[in-house]
Structure 1
Amino acid sequence: MSNKPKINKYKSLRNAVTRLRDDLRDSDNGGSDFVLLYAYNGTGKTRLSMEFKDVGKRKKGIARDTLYFNAFTEDLFVWDNDLIGDSDRALMFNENSEFFKGLDNLALEVRIEKYLSRYTTFSFDINYQKWKITFKKEVANPKFRVGLDEPEKIVQDNIKISRGEENIFIWCFFLSICEVTLDGAETYNWVKFFYIDDPVSSLDDNNTIKVATDLAKLLRRAKGEDEKYTIKTVISSHHGLFFNIMCNELKKTKHKTYLLNKADNSYTLQATDDTPFYHHIATLSELNKAAETGDLFTYHFNALRTIFEKTSNFFGNGDISYCLDTEDEALHARALNIFSHRDAYSIWQPSPMLDDNKRLFETILKNYLERFEIELP
C-alpha cells in the first residue's frame, strides 16, 4: 500500500455509489471494468449493492441496469417443506421477480449442473410452470447385500438439502444467468452491470478458491472483440481469501480497489493497490471477533493453521511450531493439526466447538497476536 492512500469520504451510500458508477464509466473516457471492494461485516456492503441497483432504476428512461447477487437474491428462494405429507419438499422461486423472467426458454439446467458438479453430488429438477425446484441424491441402499438382487445405491427424491448446499445451488443458478446474459439472451439485454456481494459465506478455503476462479473465468467472457468489457462488475466481500484471489485474477484488467469503512454517519472509500491486501490481518480480525463472541466452529482451527503456515514460511521456517513459542507448544500444535484435518469436517454443516476447544483456540490466537505484536482493525 502506498504511504498516503487516497481516502474519499461520503455522507451517504448513494454518494458512494456515484463514485463507483463514475469509476465504471466507458473505458474510452478512462473508466475501469471492475471495482473490488473489501469491507468488514456490518459496514454496509449489502445496502451499498442495493443502492447501486436502485440508482440504475432511477435513471431517466431506464427501468434497471444491474443484475445483482446478495442476501436478497437468496431470499427469492423459499422452501415448501410439505408439512402435511412430509414427502414432497421443494424450493420455490419467486415468479414475480424480474430475476426469473423468461427462464423457461433458456435451458439453464445444463449450465447449472456444470457449476454445481464442482461442489456437490445432489441433482435437481426445475418446474417452470409451478415455479419450484426439487432435489434428489444417490444414497447407499440399506437392503444391499452381495449376491442379492438389490442395487448398491438408491435415489432419494424430494430431499431437503442443507442450508450450505442451498446457498451454493443459488450461486450456481446466478452464475448460469450471468452466462446466458453474456451470451446475449434477449431476456437480460438490460444488464449493464453485475454486482456480486459475498458469494462465499460458510465455505471452506478449497471451495472459496473454486468459487473465485469460476467467477473470474466467467467475468473474463464479458470482454468483447474490441477488448472492451460489455458488462462492468462490482465485487464486494468481507472474506480475505476470496478478495485476494479476485484481486490476483483481475489484476491485468482495468480495475479499482477500495477498502469500504463506516465512521459515525459517513462512509469512506480508501483506494489501495495492495495485494494480497493484508489477507492475514483480515482473517485474524474475523477469527478474533468469532473468539470474542464465542461463535467458533471447528473450521476456524483450519483458518488459523493456514495463517501460521504463511507466517512460518515468511520467516524462513517451514513448521507451524515457529508460531507456538509457549510452554504448551506440543498441545497447541496437536490441536491445530487434529481439527484442521478431521475427516468428519463438513463445509455444509460446520461443527460448533466445544467449550474446552474454544478456550484452547482463544489461548493459541491470543499468544500469536501478542508474540508478533499484531494490531487488529
Structure 2
Amino acid sequence: MDVASFSDLPTLAQRVREDLDKKKFVLLHAYNGVGKTRLSGAFRDLGRAVNADGETTRRDTLYFNAYTEDLFSWDNDLTYEKKRVLQLNSDSKFFAGLRDLEMEVKIGKLLERYADFNFYIDYDRREPSDSPDEPGDPLPPAVTFFRDREENGDPIPIKVSRGEENIFIWCFFLAIVQLVLDGAEAYRWVKFVYIDDPISSLDEHNAIVVANHLIQLYREAEKVEVGTVISTHHNLFFNVLHYELKNYFKGKASQYVLGRERLTNRYDLRQQLGDTPAFHHVAALVELDKVARGQAIQTHHFNMLRAVLEKTALFHGYTHFGACIKKDPGDADGVLHQRFVDLLSHGKYSLYEPVEMGDETKRFFRKIVRDFLDRYPYNKALFPADPIADADPAQ
C-alpha cells in the first residue's frame, strides 16, 4: 500500500491538486483532529490571490466546510421578535447572482428530500424608516423559513432548529454545485469543489442518502469539468461514496486515508484501494479515548464505541459484543454497560444534531472505554499514559 509523507498542509494540498489533474475525484478519510478542515483551507489558499488591500483577486475553489456556516447568520429581530431571518453574507462570491439564477427553486427541489419546512429569500431588505418617501438603508439578503401561512396567505416566520439550518445550508451548497456543473456564468471561476464532512453525525440511513444524492448531481451533469475532493471521518459515508464512484466514475477517483504523526506533526497519505479505510476501528478507538477524556461526549459516540466492540468480538470469535464488556455472564456492571451501549447506539436521536449526554451517562461512557482499553491493550503509543478520569464538570 503506497504511503506518501508531507511536512505541512500546503505541500499535501498541492499533492491533492496534482491528483485532480489526472482524476475527477479524490475521496479522503481522516478522523477528527487530523486536519481535514485545515487541509481544505490550505487547498483553497493555493488557488487564491490577494492584493495589497487584502482583497481576493483570484480564486478557483468552491468549498464546503465548517466555515461555510459562517456565511449565514441569524437576525433574531430582538426589537419586535416577530420575524427571525437567516442573513446571507452578500460580500462572498458564494452567493454570486442568486436572484438571476432562481436559487429558491433549485434549493427547494433539493431540500424537499430532507425537510418539511419552506422558505423564501428576500433580496430587497431595508432598515425600517419613519418616512415612506425615504426608504431605509439596504440590508443583506435573508432567508425566511415557514411551515404555515396566515389566512391571507402570508407565511408565518419560524426559526428552524440548528440541525434543520445545517440541512438548508447543505442544500444551498448543492444547488450551487449544480450551477457549477451546468456551467453557469456566475460560477465560471470554479475549477475545484472541496467538500469536507458535509453533515456531521449522520445515522446509517442518511449517510447513504446524502452520499447517493451528491454523486447523483455529478451523474446528471452533461460533462464533469471540475475536480472534486470529498473528505470525511464517517466510515459508512466513505463506503457508500466508494461504490457510487466505482459504479459511475470508474477509474476517475483516487482514495486515501490521511493520518498525522503526533511527534513530528507530519502528514501521511495512504492509498486506500478497498471500500473501508484500513484499521479504521483503531483510529475510532483513538478518537473515543480522546473524547472520553473531555466533556464533549455525545450520544453518537456510542455508535462508534459499538462498532469497535463488534469488530473486537468478531476478531476473538465471540457471538456478541457484550463479551468484550462483561467479565463473565454474572457481571452485573457488565450487563448494565452492555445495555447502555445497546440503547444509546440505537436510540431515536436527531439525525443531524448531536445530543450531549448527561453527567451520569458520561461517567458510564468513560468507564466502558477505560475498562475496554484495560482488557484489550492496543499499541500504547496511540494512547496517553495517564488513565481516563471520571471528570467532574464542576472541577
TM-score (ref. length: structure 1) = 0.81
Classify the secondary structure of the residue corresponding to 2:48: helix
Letter paired with 2:23? S
Partner of 2:254: 256
CA distance in 2, matches of 1:115, 1:311: 40
- Asked whether 1:36 is paired with 2:20, we answer no
Classify the secondary structure of the residue corresponding to 1:195: strand
Partner of 1:132: 142
- Deviation of residue 334 (structure 1)? 1.9
Partner of 2:393: none
Count, aligned residues: 348
Classify the secondary structure of the residue corresponding to 1:71: coil
Partner of 2:188: 189
1:216/1:286 Cα in 2 relative to 1: closer, same or farther (>3 Å)? Answer: farther
* Deviation digits for residues 55-87 of structure 1 (CA, Å, limit 9, x no counterpart): 22349xx93221111122211111100011111
Partner of 1:346: 350
Partner of 1:281: 282
Check conservation: 2:5, 2:266, Cα contact below 8 A: no
Letter paired with 1:54? D
1:295/1:23 Cα in 2 relative to 1: closer, same or farther (>3 Å)? Answer: same
Check conservation: 1:240, 1:283, Cα contact below 8 A: no
- Deviation of residue 265 (structure 1)? 5.5
- Stretch deviating more after TM superposition (287-296 or 307-316): 307-316
TM-score (ref. length: structure 2) = 0.78
CA distance in 2, matches of 1:206, 1:276: 17
- Deviation of residue 132 (structure 1)? 0.4
CA distance in 2, matches of 1:307, 1:218: 33
5+ residue gaps, structure 1, are: 26-30, 140-150
Partner of 1:206: 205
Letter paired with 2:35? G
- Deviation of residue 194 (structure 1)? 0.7
Partner of 1:366: 370
* Deviation digits for residues 182-232 of structure 1 (CA, Å, limit 9, x no counterpart): 1222221222211111212244343233222222222334573xxxx4111
- Stretch deviating more after TM superposition (311-320 or 39-48): 311-320
- Asked whether 1:296 is paired with 2:284, we answer no
Check conservation: 2:87, 2:143, Cα contact below 8 A: yes
1:7/1:349 Cα in 2 relative to 1: closer, same or farther (>3 Å)? Answer: closer
Partner of 2:81: 86
Check conservation: 1:91, 1:133, Cα contact below 8 A: yes
- Stretch deviating more after TM superposition (119-128 or 68-77): 119-128
Equivalence map 1:1-377=2 (5 Å): 2=1, 5-10=2-7, 12-25=8-21, 31-58=22-49, 63-130=58-125, 131-137=141-147, 157-222=156-221, 224=223, 229-251=224-246, 252-263=250-261, 264=264, 266-277=266-277, 278-309=279-310, 311-312=312-313, 319-326=320-327, 327=331, 328-343=333-348, 345-375=349-379, 376=382
The Cα RMSD (Å) is 3.0
* Deviation digits for residues 327-358 of structure 1 (CA, Å, limit 9, x no counterpart): 23321222222223444x32355432222222
Letter paired with 1:209? I
5+ residue gaps, structure 2, are: 51-56, 126-140, 384-395
* Deviation digits for residues 301-322 of structure 1 (CA, Å, limit 9, x no counterpart): 2333344445556666653334
* Deviation digits for residues 277-299 of structure 1 (CA, Å, limit 9, x no counterpart): 13333333332221111321223
Percent of paired sites with the same residue: 47
Check conservation: 1:119, 1:207, Cα contact below 8 A: no
CA distance in 2, matches of 1:331, 1:76: 45
